[in-house]
A and B are shown apart, each in its own frame.
Chain A
């Protein structure tokens, strides 16, 4: 095989992998919107207090996407959800942006640092608690002041429980899902 043929084959593989990553990012982003709509129907005491089920696709993507695409997914989630709920210019979007980016980075770093040494449950709990802690910090500065310490314990406990629940779900989904297996090969440029 000639050098130019090899180079054009590599370029085609790269382009196919890029297309695959864009597709996986868009589909997972769409799932974030869908899960966010489901979460919207669950009553909550404060508008920015979320169970975090819309973070499930981000948890799944931690093993699937390289960092730039992974962060793009987090931003797609925040922007899309803010457009759907009409909260783009409100503190709600700011809470969502801070919480989502923190959770995404915490989960990605945990995966890269510990690999399979930490389960999806551990990664998910870490993401949920980090996200809730940052949101509490923002709530202290922007809305509640010192009184935030009163709502912090139930808020962080909720993160712990929902994080564990999402982690278990993600673990089983990754093991059984045919879509996930196909998405993984497409992202790697093998699909």
Chain B
């Protein structure tokens, strides 16, 4: 039981490492943003469901933590909440609750958008993502401090939490930020890989073809 869990964790770590080696953070994030916009404006429930499955597969391939149970639970909550305000033809009834067609489809659409955006985000945001400019350097400094906090050797005990938190702040503060963010600079300096860019370009094109294709077909 524990062995199987350990193997799954190792497999996930391997997938994560391959995913991070394949895609430059900025290219993956840009593609993720473009695909998210196409998904958000997609009106067809069927196409949205197909895209959702692709996003789920991408999130799994990226080695990020994916919880199908949480997705089902949240989606059920969103659909149920939408069913509470009946709209459209009554298609079934559970006790006093009338299940109406429009409310059900609306709920399913909203649940797909909500969870789909979570998965495309998981797949497209890498820890090495850095923003340019002054704000970007402020975020990078915050991440450096965050690494220091996570590496802190002392402990935060409930009984002395305020004193411990203060010691942690002082220690991190006094150490300063002499260490360069070598990993981030290396990630920024790395040349873009043609295969990765081709894959991302194809994914963006496919998402917009799914969005604009039916509109163009209807027009011509």
Contact = CB atoms under 8 A, between A and B. Distances in A.
B133 to A, nearest CB: 12
Contact of A93 (B81, B121, B166): B121
B166 A173 contact: yes
B24 interface: no
Interface residues of B, number: 50
A169 B170 CA distance: 18
Interface stretch (A101-109, A138-146, A157-165): A138-146
A43 to B, nearest CB: 10
A47 B77 CA distance: 11
Contacts of A137: none
B33 A143 contact: no
Nearest to B113: A91
B166 A46 contact: no
Contacts of B135: 72, 75-76
Contacts of B163: 176
A178 B166 contact: yes
Interface in A80-107: 80, 82-84, 86-93
A72 B74 CA distance: 32
B170 A26 contact: no
Interface in B115-137: 117-118, 120-125, 127, 129, 131, 135
Given A22-B138, A47-B118, A150-B81, A84 B127 contact: yes
B149 A144 contact: no
A143 B115 CA distance: 11
B85 A145 contact: yes
A42 interface: no
Contact of B138 (A72, A88, A146, A182): A72
Contact of A29 (B64, B78, B114, B138): B138
Chain A's interface size range is 35 or more
Contacts of A46: 74, 77
Interface string A116-127: 000000000000
A58 to B, nearest CB: 13
A104 to B, nearest CB: 16
B202 interface: no
A80 B81 contact: no
B41 interface: no
A157 B139 CA distance: 32
B121 A90 contact: yes
Interface string B72-112: 00100110111011000000000000000000001000100
A41 interface: no
Interface stretch (A1-9, A30-38, A128-136): A30-38
B29 A88 contact: yes
A29 B139 CA distance: 8
B149 A145 contact: no
B169 interface: yes
Contacts of B32: 88-89
Given A89-B32, A176-B162, A178-B170, A144 B81 contact: yes
Interface of A: 22-23, 25-27, 29-31, 33-34, 45-47, 72, 75-76, 79-80, 82-84, 86-93, 142-148, 150-151, 169, 172-173, 176-180, 182-183
Given A31-B149, A142-B110, 6 more contacts: A23-B177, A29-B145, A89-B120, A90-B120, A147-B84, A169-B162
8 contacts: A22-B141, A30-B148, A46-B77, A75-B135, A87-B125, A90-B118, A91-B113, A173-B162
